[in-house]
Amino acid sequence: MHAFDDFPGLVTTEESLAPWVWFRLGGPAAYFASPRRLDELVALLKRCREQGIAFKILGGGSNVLVRDEGLDALVVHLESPFFADVQVRDQIVEAGAAVPLTALISHSARAGLAGLEVLTGIPGTVGGALRGNAGGRQGAIGQFVRRATVLDPAHEIQVRDRDDLSFADRASNLDDPVILSAEFELEPEEPEAVVRRMRRIWIIKKENQPYGHQFSGCIFKNPSTDVSAGALIDQAGLKGTRFGGAEVSDRHANFIIAHPGAKAADVLQLIDRIRQRVWQQFGYELELQIQVW
Ligand SMILES: Cc1cc2nc3c(=O)[nH]c(=O)nc-3n(C[C@H](O)[C@H](O)[C@H](O)COP(=O)(O)OP(=O)(O)OC[C@H]3O[C@@H](n4cnc5c(N)ncnc54)[C@H](O)[C@@H]3O)c2cc1C
């Protein structure tokens, strides 16, 4: 008997999270579910509240490192078609939380709507990207948001308008338990011109990222707009530093590569070592961008 016994076929137990996250590392979730509709999602969250069970929402898993011991929680994976719809009307694109950023960008470009192509090459879903205001030097997702629909802590649907929302460097005030969907307001432009920009951004992105291994996105936030975490780690001579199966990427020092056999503990130890060294050498306290579960 377990807390979700009456959700047959929906909740699994001791599910390994490694296949669901980009690092391909980490232990199991005590409970795991991919709700097919909103009512199932709400029912799961209500059960969590009744039973005092923690929960986490998982999107594309590109910004999460799961500890080796796993989580004593329900991990809710948003991926079903119900949460992955995209609609375009006039200059507005409405997308569910589970829509992959690649799909959001290509739908918009095909409809002759420009703006979101600045996110080209960033993996993950609309929900995860909004939570952390994903972006880069060219811009970030938050600047295009017109409104977001969320589930609040009382499991009620709330629409949060632009005036209610704030986005900062890899951060937002969208801290409601679940982001369900968002509307983006874009500028009309020839689809070919948007696609050309996408290609240019993609090439730059590929040149600056590791490839062929398991990794997540940037591990640390930049200390400020002028100071990049990657440059500090590089100047500290840490590129190529290894701990167990985890290694600071040679191509971009703010990425950690997990070699076959690596443990999440290796990545965490390497993170500690980087932080210590950057603090000692430059006096910057690096803050994590990646979420550690
Ligand atoms: C190769 C690579 C390159 C990257 N480059 C960039 C980059 O250039 N710029 C950048 O900003 N990021 C970058 N990232 C990080 C990552 O892509 C973004 O943070 C991303 O959009 C996260 O989306 P996700 O769906 O994978 O989120 P996840 O990793 O699944 O989750 C991240 C966080 O968001 C929360 N979350 C997810 N969905 C929801 C939801 N529906 N409601 C509430 N909370 C939710 C999770 O609980 C978690 O706290 C990169 C990652 C990789 C692997």
- Quote the pLDDT of residue 285: 97
Ligand 1 pocket, mutate which of 24, 41, 62 (most atoms under 8 A from CB): 62
- Chain segment 25-76, per-residue pLDDT in tens: 999 999 999 999 999 999 999 999 999 999 999 999 999 999 999 999 999 9
Contacts of residue 200, Cβ cutoff 8 Å, sequence gap at least 6: none
Q: Who has greater pLDDT, 196 or 207?
A: 196
Ligand 1 pocket, residue 214 CB under 6 Å: no
Give the distance (Å) from ligand 1 centre to CA of residue 223.
Answer: 19
With CA atoms as reference, report the closest residue to 126 among 87, 75, 181.
181
Q: Decide: pTM greater than 0.85.
A: yes
- Quote the pLDDT of residue 209: 75
Please give the class, per CATH, of domain 11-81: alpha beta
Tell me the C-alpha distance between 102 and 126, whole Å: 10
Mean pLDDT of the chain: 94
Q: Per-residue confidence at 136, pLDDT binned at 50, 70, 90?
A: confident
Tell me the C-alpha distance between 167 and 177, whole Å: 17
Contacts of residue 40, Cβ cutoff 8 Å, sequence gap at least 6: 7, 10, 33
Q: Of 9-23, 106-120, 198-212, 270-284, which gets the smallest average pLDDT? A: 198-212
**What distance, in Å, lies between the first and last C-alpha atoms of the chain?**
26
* Domain made up of 84-207: CATH architecture: 2-Layer Sandwich (3.30)
- Locate 255 and state its tokens: 């990425």
**Domain extents for the chain?**
11-81, 84-207, 214-292
Atom 45 of ligand 1: nearest residue by CA position: 128
Tell me the C-alpha distance between 293 and 73, whole Å: 10
Q: Per-residue confidence at 199, pLDDT binned at 50, 70, 90?
A: very high
> Quick one: fold of 214-292?
3.90.78
